[in-house]
Structures are given as structure tokens and as C-alpha cells.
Structure 1
Amino acid sequence: MKKIVIVGGGAGGLELATRLGQKLGKYGLAEVTLIDRNRTHLWKPLLHEVVSGSLDTGLEAISYRAHSSENHYYFRMGSLCGLDKEKRQLILAPLEDHHGKQILQQRFIDYDYLVLAIGASSNDFGNASVHEHCYRLDSAQEAEDFHLTFLNRFMQYSEENCLNMDPETPCENTSEDLSDTVTISIVGAGATGVELAAELYQAVDQLERFGIREIHHSSLEVNLIEAADRILPALSESVSGKAAQTLEEQGVKILCNTMVQEVHANSLQTSSGEIHSDLIVWAAGIKAAEFLSRLGLQTNRIHQVEIEATLLAKGEERIFAIGDCCSFTPEGAQRPVPPTAQAAHQMAKLCADNLIAIVKRKPLQTFEYYDHGTLVSLGPFKTLGQLLNQMIKRKWQVEGKLAYWLYASLYRQHQLALYGGRKFFWIWLSSLLEKRIKPKLKLY
């Protein structure tokens, strides 16, 4: 029986494990194993909602262990630290618990075919102070950490600006004479940075509705810093312009053509001067894990594994790579396939087909990327983006309710791929009920 090991349970890795479990593991045609350093999966494009509190990870996270038992693959918790291609073995680092106590020693996992799907993280561009002074949104844990910090900072703000704490007497201060604002700087105005800026203002509006004293929309000041000449540089100028207008109407200060030179505890030194910030979020660029360049595989300057059209790593016959941790430039294309959830979804599907083909001794297929467009959610303020018609190679701009429904459907498609139609229906119905009976903002 073939041993197929998938490292990384992100959008692509988990969908791949699910497909292979249902197609191969269920019928004893292969032993499918998924390895991830976390116990649960959360769709990465939702992390900005975790920060604002509009999404509860306890409700949306998927337990790998429970999911694996229902979909005929095996889950092992751990982090990849080495690879022996000759022995076809993975090396997993020792596993520690939440107290830092080692609970498992270094382990060796045999494989016949390996799939790397470990994703990527924001790119600090060699600036060591980013890790020390900035929050990043590369995992659910980091998003939760920033969410609690955000709530605590506004609790301080409320206390500092509400001197009269008698519940029977309203505070004398008004939004016009507050002593200060909470300033948050977001470095990187791609989809993550733009969506986060909007979500933060939505969170402040919700805090005000919950009756927290001296919290107003104007209590928050967001700086959105981008090195390019406009926000959302990957989208059309029209979409970028509308998004900028919407954000500026909410109070976001957009700083384009601005390079970050130094990062300090409460400030950024940029090419335009110093910017004071209570909190700093780093959402600029991407890079894959550096250890990928030490595994004996061909990688690029940001440590992504270079792959062939079959999704096999270049020069390899048994190692595949999918999602953000790999780089593939289609023939005739000027740029590599973008590191997006839709690309990971398409790669996961083809990788599953190719591994099934290997088991059944059929030829491998080649990857063709279909860009269906990009949508950006600015919370309740606006959803907009562009769709691409592959038949006529024309982009259509969408906004309003249609764009909102299309944006929401992206996550539902991911859930459908993981759960199947019947279970997805009950999950969708449950989420509708939760929205009606639970607060719109997570306050813990």
C-alpha cells in the first residue's frame, strides 16, 4: 500500500487530504497521513475577522483529528525539520506542550509520495525588529493574540477618558475632547491589510453599540502604509481607487509610496517621516519557510519550492508541492501563479488527481491556473472586486450585494470541499442561527 504524506493542513493541504482519504484511504488503496503543527484548521483569509472579533475561532475552527476520522486519513501533530530523500523519510521536530515541556521526541515518518503544503508567512525583508515589535496575521493564534490586545487597548482608552465612573452619571467627556486616539499602523496594503483596516473600524463601531463608555468611531486612527503607488496593487486602478475612497471615508490614512525603514516599539521610521503607533501590524509581502531551502530542493529567493506543471518539485519524482510554499510560472506567462486561496484549491484538486493516477498507474496531468478574479471585503462598508471571464479574457468589476454574496461563497466552497453537501447544509444552517442569537462581536 502506497504511503502518501501531506505536510501542512492549510486550505490546500486539508482539501487534498480530504480528497485522497475519500478516494484512496476509504478503499484501502493508499495510507494517507496529514501532518500539521496545530490541532485545528482555520481558513487563512478569515484571520482579519478573527482580529476584529467578528469571527469566533471556537465556532469555525476544524479539528484535524475529528475530521481525519470521518474522511479516512490519519493525522499526526508535528513540525517538519528535515528530509532524507534517499530513505524517503521525514524528520519531525520534538513536540512540546503549551508549557514548553517535551511530550514527543524527534520522529521519522516514511513516505512513498510526499506533498509539501506548508503555506507561507508575511515577509519581514530581513528586518529583525519586525518580529519584536509587530503583530502578524500568519496563524489563528497570532490573530487571537492581536484581538485581545486590541480589546485591552480600548479598555484602557475608555478608562482613561471616562473620569466619572458613576454608572448613574454619564461621562462629561465627548468624542471631540478625548485626550488621544488609539493609533494602529498596518504595513502592507494588499487584500489582508485593506480588509483588516475596514474590520478594525467595524469593531470600534460595535464596541460603541455595546455601550462601552467614550468609544466612538473617531477613537480609532488607522495608518495604511504601502510601498507601491496605490493600495491593492494587484487589482485594477478602478477597484483600488474605490477601495481607497471607502477607507478614507471611514477615517483610514493611506500612505502610498512609503517605505518602512525601521520599526520601534511604538513608532515606525518611514521614508515619509516617523509615525507614532500604539499597535503595529505587519502584512507586507510573503515568503515561505526558510528551512525549505535546506531540504535539497530547488527553491527561489523567498524559499518557495520550484515545481513543474505536474506539481512535482523540479528534479523530483516523489515530492509534490502546492499552495503558497511553491512557485510555478505557466508557459508563456510573465508572472508565477499568485499565492491565493483559489490557486491552492486548484492545485489541491490536480495534486489529488495525479496521486490517484499514480496509484492506478495512469499518466499525470498538467496544471492550468484559472484566475476567477479577486474580491475584497471592507466589512459592512463595501465589498468590491473584479471577476475574470476565461472565455473572452475580460475582467468585470463587481460591487455591492452581488460582490458580498460572491465573497461569502468563497468560504462556503471551502467548507463544501471539506464536508460534502449534506453536512455542509447543517453547518451553514447552524451559522445562520449563531448570527441571530450571539453578539456580533467577540469580546473575549
Structure 2
Amino acid sequence: MTKSNVTPKRSIQASPSALPNDATVLCGRDKSLTHRAVMFAALARGETIIREPLLGADCLSTMSCFRALGIQIEALDARSIRVRSEGFSAFKTPAVDLDCGNSGTTARLISGILAAQPGLKVRLTGDASLSSRPMRRVVDPLRRMGARIEGPEQGNFLPLTIQGQTLQPLAHEVDKASAQVKSALLLAGLFCEGETSVRLPAGSRDHTERMLQRMGANLVSEIHDGMEQVRVRGPFAPPPGRYMIPVDPSSAAFFCVLGLLRKGGTVRLPEVLDNPTRTGFLRVLQRMSSALVLTPDPDQRFVEPVMQITLEGGAALRPTDIEAAEVPTLVDEIPVLAVAAAFAEGPSTFHGLEELRVKESDRLSKTAELLRLAGAEVSVQGDSLRIAGRLKEVQAFTYDAVGDHRLAMAAAIMARRSKKPCCILDSECVGVSFPDFYEMLDSIV
């Protein structure tokens, strides 16, 4: 998120109440699923209704891009949007750049779609943060399929100019468990004659595959010896339909940690997405505390299964290590898990965090900075984060979230354990994924 001359800031500290209340928190809706629902609705010919979409800045960037391509997207009511499309064959070369804002999901996934539209020419742009994040992990395999994509440093950074082509199916080998790379290639494969496959380390998010299978695509996903292989046969045109979006587990993670760190009281989080590729942080928190209960919800209206999370505050937290193989299922939750580990009764080490260096910020160094400012003992050793634990009292701090929503929210959770006011600069960047975050945080005593 680009900074203005006046940086928004927020002061947060512990509630003066000695008796924490019980609370039910309906967190923000899932960002990943909202992105994909909008994209598939735009590709479909007809009308699609998306209920409970996340209307944060990232998802609004995706909607804006498709509007520029000629898709009608409008509010149906306060909790639903309607997407009307003539299908991908009716996409129009936009008169303006497609601004992806701060959203890497928008930029990478839409690249796979647009590269496969012959005759279409677009220019993708983004804010300063997104423009510094690597794109060749998507661009290079798309080029091997026949895509024409140009940009700075051989297409590694935005802005990218994409000239749509007829692509050829290909078997891809990807060295990192990246859902964005996998999804971009599968989306491109929808427009190819024949089978496109992606082989990569297991553990990345599988929303694209689940949604395509739900729509009837010829898609097979298999995992053997720690490697995942996904195959999709094209061409396939997504049909219009209905989507209901569950709560984002990445957003719920902050209130999970808050619930465990409180002196007492119960926090309940309903309608949370229950997908094992997204809930690795819950397995970590279960290792740290037995005061966390997961209850499956039988409601079948949602795009994917949901659950309720119940947490009891006041219990001691056990230290734990996070291994590199776990990281793809909890990469966005590392900052707030580090906050929890700071209060554990011993040292914890998080391994394999290299991906954090190319997020909205260098989240690895910025997470360590947050903990140090709060008074915790922490060190970065290569791509590992070691947290000594046993933090008893959070000292007052001023922390610059540098436009990174996950860091701002993690800092807010840390600040709730301080007896003195803590200041978070660039605090409003939480609007990228969780516009109501502070309002909900204030509701919990």
C-alpha cells in the first residue's frame, strides 16, 4: 500500500478490565476464495451470484480489473454481488492499465487467464510494494506455453504487458509449493487443447482445484512422496453459478492468538474455512495449547467446508518448532504465530521462512523487529526465526507496518498485551484483507 504524506497510525493497549468477556467474532470472509469466485464468474457466460464476498482492497482490485475487461460486477444487496459476463471470448482490450493494487493473487492469476486470450492486449500495474515482488515464477512457465509477456528485468516485475496468444498444454515442474503459480498455470491450461499438468512440492492451497472440480472440469490431483501433481484437460469453460464465501482462516488466526493470550474468557469463531491447506496454524496452536477446540459445521451452503473454533484464555502456552514442510499451509500466519511464541514457556524456532522475504514486505525481518520492540528475545538465522519465549510484559512500542496488513494485525494483537499505549504506523493497511479488524478487536474486552 503506497504511503501518503500523513501516515495513518493507531494507538492500542490492553483493556483495563480484569474480567475478560466471552465473545463471538465473525471475522472477515476469505480473500483467496473471493478472488477465485470473481475470476470464474467473469469467465462464465451468464449471471453468477457471490454471497458474503470479502470487499477488501485486494479483492476490489480483482473486480476492477475484470470491469475494465467489460464484465459487469455490481452489488446485489449489502452482502452479495452479481457478476454478468458474456464469457471470456467477449473480453475487450481495456482502454486503461489493469491496476492490481497490492494484490499478488490478482496479478499472478489474471496473468494466466489473459495470456491465453488471442487478440487481447493488456498492461498490468500495481502499487510500489507489488511492483517489487517477483513475477517470473509465473511469467517463465507461461512463456513456455507460448505466452507473450514483457516487463522489467525479463518480466520479473510489474508493469507487465501481455499480448494474448493461443497457448499449448505443457507439463510443468515447479520448485516451490506456490498456490499462485500453480493456479496461474491451471487457469491458462483451461484454454488449451489437451492436458496441462503442474508438479510441485505438496502443501500449497488447493482452492482452484476444488472449485474447478465442483464446476465439472476434468481435473485430477494426486500426492505421492511429498510431491503434488495436478492435471487439467482443456478446453473448459466455467459455468455460471452461486458461491457463498466462508470466513478467512488467515483473518481468524489473529483472534485465535488473542483468545489464547487473554487472562480468561471464551472466544468463538464461527463459519471458518476448514481446508487443511489453510489451517496449518491451527495445528501449531494445538501443539501450544489444549484450550482450542475445532467443531465441524454441517452447513453445506459454502464453497468449501466450514467449522467453529472455540478458545479459552488463561492457559500457559507450550513452545513449539515449525518445520519447513509446514510453512506452505501457514505462511500468512507466521507473524501472529511468532507473537504467540513470544509468550510460550520456552524457545520456539520457525524454519524455512524464505518465502516471507518476498511478501508485501520482508515479513521475516519485520516480524523479528516487532518482537524486539515489544521486549521479546528473537534472532533471525538464515531463513529461520528463533523466539526465546517467556515474555512477561510487553513494553510500549511504535511499529511501522510498512503497508503490510498481516504485520499491522500482528502488532495490534501484541499491543493488546501491553499496559501502556502502543502505536502502529500504516495501521489502516488492514483494509487489504480485513476492513473491520479494529472494530472487531475493540469489541473484545
Q: TM-score w.r.t. structure 2 length?
A: 0.26
Q: TM-score w.r.t. structure 1 length?
A: 0.26
